[in-house]
Structure 1
Amino acid sequence: MINIAGKLISNKVNNIRFFLNYPKIDIEEENDHVQKFVEVVNKSIKNEVDIFEDIVINTYFEENIIGNVNAISEFQIAFNRGNIISMPMEFTQIIGLTDISHIYSYNYDFNLMKKITLNDLFKQDIDFEKIIESYVMEGIYEILDNYKSNMTYGVYELMMEAIYICDDPVFYFNGRELVICISSFELTSQVDNLIEFPISFKKIKNILSDYALRNIYLY
């Protein structure tokens, strides 16, 4: 059984206030190899928290920012079943009225002692990247259409042409959906929040791998 406890870093550096919540994983398993793998995952999570803290501090001093800065991280346990976890973690830096967010996700199988990738979730002969891109682009079109009234036609067209979906997007899963995550700055400065695109496992069931159907897809 996997236990996930919340840890908190709360401190202040000059005018920067940090409220950094992050998970620490504990597993009821006597196998030394599994315990060492858990340690590696926990170290990776804490390392990303420390990097975020350093980046905020360095940016504050390098850009001579005036005013208070709040740096926040939050995580959620989207999936914790059969020694498999999926946990998205959002990092947010708030400077004045500017809100910039980005996300990591921790998807691990502690039975196999490996990080879960999108390749693990789909059949080998399926071009799942194109399928995922089609779902994400459909959602992006809807978002940009909502902002279209505030843009000139030329700016809107440039934004549409500039959108790029990376080959290895951040994702998490909750048993019923695969959720693709895109940070706001990857789209447009006029959208200032993290954007998530859920894809129902039920809709793509026929292209899911046996691994996903056995271990992750909840009917």
Structure 2
Amino acid sequence: MLRDKVLKIMAVAMLGGVLLFTTACGSTKITASISAVSTEKGKVINENINIDKPYIKVNGNSIKLEGLSDENVQSKINNHIKYELEDYINLKVQDEKYIYDEFNKDDKDYEPKEVKVTTKSTYNKDNILSVVTHINTRESANYSYEIKNTYNIDLKTGQNIELDKLFKNKNYVDVIQKYVEDEIAKNPEDYNTSSVNNSLRRDYYLEKDNLVIVFKPGMIASYSKGNREFKIPIKSFGDDFSTDIKIESSAVIVDRKQIAIDDRSLKSIVNIPVIKDIKLNIEGVDYKEIQDNLNNLFEKEAMEFREEMYEDAKVAMEESEKIGYKLRPYVANVTFDEKYNKGNLLSIYTVYYTYTGGAHGNHQDVAYNVDLTNGKILKLNDIFKNEVDYKKVINDEINKQIREIQEQAKAEGISRGEKVEDIYLPHRGFKSIRDDHGFYFKDDSIVIYFDLYEIGPYAAGIIEFPIKISNIGDSLKDEYVIK
């Protein structure tokens, strides 16, 4: 069962840029529209967020779109932004409620936590919408932290726009690298590196005249310095920059069902993918049956996970009470992310999270890769031609990336004056992928991911290696060569 595969991680986990807190139940809905701003593409509606509890105060705004001609696309965009924000708020509220009820309820001078949310559209033209959500959480008078989520969306399809889609060739990589490194050189004391890798894809958002590159806390500066942003004038890219993008429409609509439990022994929010309206049209294929089977599978595995945790929690609570020990409620949360949804393929990445006491929680990540022509859940060997040694193909690609990562780490260590033998080289634990190794489709790549502790410390989180389809396309079956 999923529970038996759970591995240790930190008590808080970052998922898709959203910080998830451990103890969770209940459900906070973002409502109360307060104003509408007309834009080139429909209207951006501001929605007020206001939660006032003795243990937490949440204020600010979210947004949603109205007036798009395709209601399914509009719903996809709105749900993506809303669900991520709701998840953060729900989990934070419930975590603080438990701490307050257990330890601070009688403290008349207790200072509630404060969360301020600001969401705004920074770009809305040429069928592209950029949205930035900024969350500032004040834990105490002396400590707060920020989370910044960016969304860059194709208004024709509702799909995410990766950075490389905005450029005709790869010259932009060098432009970004030079600009960022030049800015770092102006104030080197503010950063922990003098160089950045030449990645094709980065967190970003668009403004009227700028491409804004975002580095998450800890990436190029100390965590305490928060997000680091670099506003690069779009004109710096010359004719290479283009908003004339072509992205394939979604193959299915992915919604969610949320089931919450707030019990003395278990706190849980379970988010279950719900598949609707498969858009393929192959004669003789019963898409309603495929859809129902997938939805039944997602719900069955999520609920079995929660019920197993519930039974364990009740037993643990009863046993602790027998010896006079007050046990903190267990936690069982399920979240998911839609990684790929085009053509005949769907990838849903699901995190099954538990907390049973101690310094940190556990989670097992499971990617469901579905061939929508038949409803089959694909394993890694299914997408490769029969005569191909798929493990060798993948291992070679991963080893190539690891060598590049380690060379960069070595160069940075030497620049800091470290001895070569003392420099930490990431991913030294990698030997080979497993027969049943986890993967998912994303854009024009397959992404191989490793469980916690598998090739690095748990602090490194889930380690991923994206492998371009163009590098291994000859080894794949034709139906799985995505572009």
Both structures adopt the same fold (TM-score exceeding 0.5): yes
Normalising by structure 2, what TM-score?
Answer: 0.37
Distance 1:103 1:139, change over 3 A: farther
Cα shift at 1:138: 7.0
Cα shift at 1:68: 3.7
Q: Which residue of 2 aligns with 1:181?
A: 449
1:84-103 alignment to 2 at 5 Å?
84-94=345-355, 95-103=357-365
1:75-90 alignment to 2 at 5 Å?
75-90=336-351
- For residues 96 and 15 of structure 1, the distance between their equivalents in structure 2, rounded to whole angstroms, comes to 16
- For residues 288 and 348 of structure 2, the distance between their equivalents in structure 1, rounded to whole angstroms, comes to 19
Distance 1:196 1:101, change over 3 A: farther
Q: Which residue of 2 aligns with 1:24?
A: 274
> Are 1:68 and 1:96, in contact at CA under 8 Å, matched by a contact in 2?
no
Larger radius of gyration between Structure 1 and Structure 2: 2
- The residue type paired with residue 393 of structure 2 is I
- The residue type paired with residue 199 of structure 1 is I
What SS is found at the alignment partner of 1:98? Answer: coil
What SS is found at the alignment partner of 1:46? Answer: helix
Cα shift at 1:173: 0.5
After superposition, give the CA deviation of every residue in 1:9-46 in whole Å (9 maximum; x if it has no partner): 11112242111112111125797722112111111111
Q: Please state if 1:73 is matched with 2:297.
A: no
Cα shift at 1:72: 1.8
Q: Which residue of 2 aligns with 1:106?
A: 368
Distance 1:175 1:190, change over 3 A: closer
Q: Please state if 1:53 is matched with 2:272.
A: no
After superposition, give the CA deviation of every residue in 1:42-70 in whole Å (9 maximum; x if it has no partner): 11111110121023223334455722433
> Are 2:391 and 2:433, in contact at CA under 8 Å, matched by a contact in 1?
no
1:180-219 alignment to 2 at 5 Å?
180-184=448-452, 186=454, 190-191=458-459, 193-213=461-481, 217-218=482-483
What SS is found at the alignment partner of 2:303? Answer: helix
After superposition, give the CA deviation of every residue in 1:175-200 in whole Å (9 maximum; x if it has no partner): 32211233215457744733333222
Q: Out of 4, 21, 41, which is 2:294 matched to?
A: 41
Unaligned runs of 5+ in 2: 1-250, 321-326, 410-427
- For residues 341 and 261 of structure 2, the distance between their equivalents in structure 1, rounded to whole angstroms, comes to 30
Q: Out of 112, 115, 132, which is 2:377 matched to?
A: 115
> Are 2:265 and 2:310, in contact at CA under 8 Å, matched by a contact in 1?
no
- For residues 262 and 290 of structure 2, the distance between their equivalents in structure 1, rounded to whole angstroms, comes to 32
> Are 1:90 and 1:104, in contact at CA under 8 Å, matched by a contact in 2?
yes
What SS is found at the alignment partner of 2:374? Answer: coil
- For residues 432 and 330 of structure 2, the distance between their equivalents in structure 1, rounded to whole angstroms, comes to 30
Of 64-73 and 201-210, more deviation after overlay is shown by: 64-73
> Are 1:2 and 1:27, in contact at CA under 8 Å, matched by a contact in 2?
yes
Distance 1:11 1:61, change over 3 A: closer
Q: Which residue of 2 aligns with 1:154?
A: none
Cα shift at 1:131: 2.5
> Are 2:393 and 2:472, in contact at CA under 8 Å, matched by a contact in 1?
no
Q: How many residues in Structure 1 have an aligned counterpart in Structure 2?
A: 202
Of 109-118 and 190-199, more deviation after overlay is shown by: 190-199
Normalising by structure 1, what TM-score?
Answer: 0.75
Distance 1:112 1:15, change over 3 A: closer
- The residue type paired with residue 343 of structure 2 is G
Cα shift at 1:6: 1.3
Unaligned runs of 5+ in 1: 147-158
- For residues 190 and 88 of structure 1, the distance between their equivalents in structure 2, rounded to whole angstroms, comes to 19
- For residues 207 and 32 of structure 1, the distance between their equivalents in structure 2, rounded to whole angstroms, comes to 27
